[in-house]
Structure 1
Amino acid sequence: MDEFPRELWNRGMYEQVRRMTESPHEEAYNAEGHYALREAIAQHLRRMRGIDAPPERIVIVNGSMQAIALLTQVLVNEDDPVVLERPGYPGTSRAVLAAGGVPVHAAVDGQGLVPQPWNARLLFVTPSRQYPTGAVLGLERRQHLLRWAEEQGAVIVEDDYDSEFRHRGRPIEPLKVLDQEEGRVVYIGTFSKTMLQELRIGYVVLPEALQDAFVAAKRLYEPHPSGLLEQRSLAAFMASGGYERHLRRMRRVYASKFLLLQALLQEQLSTLFEWVESDSGLHLFGWWRGDFNSYASYAAACREVGVSWSDAAFYDLPQERAGAIFGFAHLTEEEIRSGVALLRHVYEIVTK
């Protein structure tokens, strides 16, 4: 938040308040969202992610979770099997269960989701950076998933939750880019990582065949679209170039933190954790090398000295392994150094 362009954003918000009071009913029934924002997203995706989608195929949602929930309600019938990554985002599993579907857990390894001949017609996947491990799905596996979807008549939902922050190497093309002809992939993006988390603006790039059903479902819950002020402000921010300038600045900030934390963890804690190789994102993931009892004891000892992390068990981790998710976006570089030093100190005490 220290790096967020508050003054510029606030000026934009005030300007949009003035404009909305002059035409209060404009777009009052547009479930797809503010058209100028959909145009700005289409241009951004074309430049930055290689996705060539017209604004008409983009729908604005209140965060990616709303997109996931609406898609499951549109696509899932009672007792339908739905393939989910394990470990994976727990919100997806909740949405599938709420729609009456049956989660089919798919294994994840160091190269992401492991393809199988699933008897299902819907798959949720995070190919650019598997959530939460950070593994990247290779080209061969991506092509395998697309062939599977074509054979099954299935839909693949691609959740691209933090691809904006790549710290080294070339950007990874989304699965959506490979889906040129069949229209099997739904692409979900969000501004929660790049802007204010409270903004609650995400978007969905839909195949033509799903457009009307998805918009009808969104209109059912929101006859009048919410957050139009924020949508209009974000559209103006993007059109002015302010969003890309903000992204460039945050990439530099996060890359410095990422590379520092990665180097320190590999140097000082590789005897405890097997780190998943990563070049992007706002967290690092490690598999615990010991058993559950030693993991629980170590985590408790670290909490006592003021250092904590997200336990991978929250993400439906298979019972045979323990894992940890180390976020760094909220920390200064000095706090990162101090935190890793404490983690190392606790390890040395525990092993004496």
Structure 2
Amino acid sequence: MLDARAWRQAWAAAARAPVGGDYGDPAGEPELRAALSAFVARQRGLAVGAENVVVTAGALHALNVIVRALLPPGSAALFEEPGYRAARQVLLDAGHTVIPVPVDDGGLSIGPDSPPARLAYVTPSHQFPLGGRMSLPRRLALLEWARRHDALIVEDDYDGEFRYDAPPLPTLASLDAGGGRVLYLGTLSKVLAPAVRTGFLTAPPALVPALVRARTLLDFGHPLPVQRAVTWLLAGGHVDRHVRRARRWHSQVRTALTEELAPLAPRATLGGIEAGLHVCLHLHGDLDAREVAARLAAREVHAVTLDTYAMRPVTSQALVLGFGGLTVDEARRGARVIRGVLAP
């Protein structure tokens, strides 16, 4: 959480701004769009103009806007399997067909035989929930698939600010320079707090008018006081400083978690540890993930089984372990409970 003093100053700055008599820009206030474009350039190396940024209420809200604006009725969409349940449900609730595509440590598996679709939704920086990073060859293959089928790609970079012991890979959006096919989603929920309800999308110039129109019809834009407070935090460098502090904090928690769980190998092994705020504990042998999760819950350690993120039956037994809200000591205590439950 950002320090309380910065929060108070941000809201005070927002309160001092005059209250106009009209709605704001449905794409977001120009100052915030400029601050977000500079932020994503610093944090993710993505060079994009403020005019190509649309402020949203988070990644799911952004996906709803995209679906409303750009997908014809009854479109097909490629989706990671297993993948982010809520994003999948956005597509299904809108009447589109979701085509599950397997993922592994290298991300979404795309090849010449991959089916056509109007859109592909991916989490390449830290696949949710397995945690792998999409390799550069896979990224290029996905872009080629989109070109071949005249499709769009939604790149959900929901926790891309948090990387550990691994060099950053270029975003799909930056690799698509000039291609006009990638919509990049970012959120401040992991950086600041989910309650701020602020995120953004970046889009190729040709797609921005349709997205702004959809945002206008959906809710006419983001609350101005929130935009002004977030702009103050971004422009003053407070968010960048907080990201650096949070990255060190989460790195320590992640190290504690991995150290405590390492002795479980080969009975259980960790994946997805290079980035993000969760890891995936893969269970081997005769271990059953649901049974293990129930035993952990009885000891007040909560984990989600991998099968809950899949559309089809999965044979892999694994637990998704989130650590974003934990201290080092809490991570160690929880990991020791897991070791006790999994000890042969």
How high is the TM-score relative to the length of structure 2? 0.94
Letter in 1 for 2:124: P
Whether 2:64 is the aligned partner of 1:66: answer no
Q: 1:182 aligns with which of 179, 182, 186?
A: 179
The answer to whether the aligner puts 1:296 opposite 2:268 as a matched pair is no
Q: Choose from 127, 142, 162 the match for 1:130.
A: 127
Partners of 2:302 and 2:291 in 1: CA distance: 13
Show CA shifts across 1:177-204 (max 9, x none).
1001211111000000000110110100
* Contact kept? 1:77, 1:99, Cα under 8 Å: no
Quickly say closer, same or farther: Cα 1:291–1:33, change in 2 above 3 A. farther
User: Is the 2:293–2:304 Cα contact (8 Å) retained in structure 1?
Assistant: no
Distance 1:173 1:254 in 2: 22
Alignment of 1:160 onto 2:154: no
Q: Which residue of 2 aligns with 1:9?
A: 7
SS at match of 1:192: coil
Which residue is equivalent to 2:73? 78
Match of 2:170 among 147, 168, 173: 173
What is residue 324 of structure 2 aligned with on the other side? 329
Q: Which among 222, 232, 242 is matched to residue 246 of structure 1?
A: 242
Deviates more, 1:227-236 or 1:273-282: 273-282
Aligned counterparts of 1:146 and 1:211: Cα–Cα separation in 2: 20
CA distance in 2, matches of 1:318, 1:42: 38
Give 5+ residue unaligned stretches, structure 1.
Answer: none
Contact preservation (8 Å) 1:128, 1:173:
no
1:230-309 alignment, distance < 5 Å: 230-267=226-263, 269-290=264-285, 294-309=288-303
Question: Separation in 1 of the partners of 2:239 and 2:272?
Answer: 29
Deviations 1:211-249 (A, max 9, x none): 1111100100123x2322111111111111111111111
* Residues 93-112 of structure 1: pairs in structure 2 closer than 5 A: 93-112=88-107
1:43 maps to 2:45: no
Letter in 2 for 1:10: R
2:335 maps to 1:340: yes
- Give, in whole Å, the separation in 1 of the partners of 2:57 and 2:293: 35
Structure 2: distance between partners of 1:136 and 1:15: 39
Give SS of 1:108's match: strand
Q: Give 1:206's aligned amino acid.
A: A
Runs of 4+ off more than 3 Å? none
Deviations 1:98-126 (A, max 9, x none): 22110000001111110032211210011
Equivalent residue, structure 2, for 1:141? 138
- Secondary structure of the residue aligned to 2:212 is helix
The amino acid that maps onto 1:156 is: I
Q: Which amino acid aligns with 1:257?
A: V
Q: Which moved more, 1:155-164 or 1:65-74?
A: 65-74
What TM-score results when the alignment is normalised by the length of structure 1? Answer: 0.92
Match of 2:25 in 1: 30
Contact 2:13 2:232 in 1 (8 A): no
Following the alignment from structure 1 to structure 2, what is the Cα–Cα distance between the partners of residues 173 and 167? 16
Match of 2:304 in 1: 310
- Aligned to 2:47, the other structure's residue is in SS state coil
**What RMSD over aligned residues (CA atoms) do the two structures have, in Å?**
1.6
Identity of aligned residues (%): 31
Verify: 1:206 aligned to 2:206, yes or no: no
Secondary structure, aligned partner of 2:121: strand
Describe the SS at the equivalent of 1:188.
strand
Asked if the contact 2:56–2:222 (Cα under 8 Å) also holds between the matched residues in 1, the reply is no
Q: How far off is 1:156 after superposition? A: 0.6
C-alpha distance in structure 2 between counterparts of 1:296 and 1:23, whole Å: 53
* Whole-Å separation in 1 of the counterparts to 2:25 and 2:153: 26
Contact 1:77 1:100 in 2 (8 A): no
Q: CA contact under 8 A between 1:60 and 1:201: conserved in structure 2?
A: yes
The offset of 1:252, in angstroms, is 0.9
2:4 partner amino acid? R
Letter in structure 2 aligned against 1:84: F
Deviation at 1:273, TM superposition (A): 2.5
| Cα displacement (A) at 1:291 | 5.2
Alpha-carbon distance, 1:276 to partner = 1.6
Could you tell me how far apart the structure 2 residues matched to 1:98 and 1:264 are? 41
Structure 2: segments with no counterpart, 5+ residues: none
Pairs aligned (count): 341
- Deviation of 1:318 after TM superposition, in Å, equals 4.2
Moved more, 295-304 or 88-97: 295-304
- Report the residue type matching 1:68 in the other structure: L
**Structure 1 residues 255 and 52: CA distance shift in structure 2, 3 A:** same
Tell me, yes or no, if the aligned pair for 2:33 and 2:53 is still in contact at 8 Å.
yes
| Secondary structure at 1:24 match in 2 | coil
Aligned partner of 1:228 among 224, 237, 245? 224
User: What is the identity, as a one-letter code, of the residue corresponding to 1:155?
Assistant: L
Change (3 A) 1:156 1:333: same
Mapped partners of 2:300, 2:269: distance in 1: 23
Which moves more between the two structures, 94-103 or 195-204?
A: 94-103
Which deviations, in whole Å up to 9, do the C-alpha atoms of 1:287-330 show, x marking residues without a partner?
222457x3322222222122121222331264222321111121
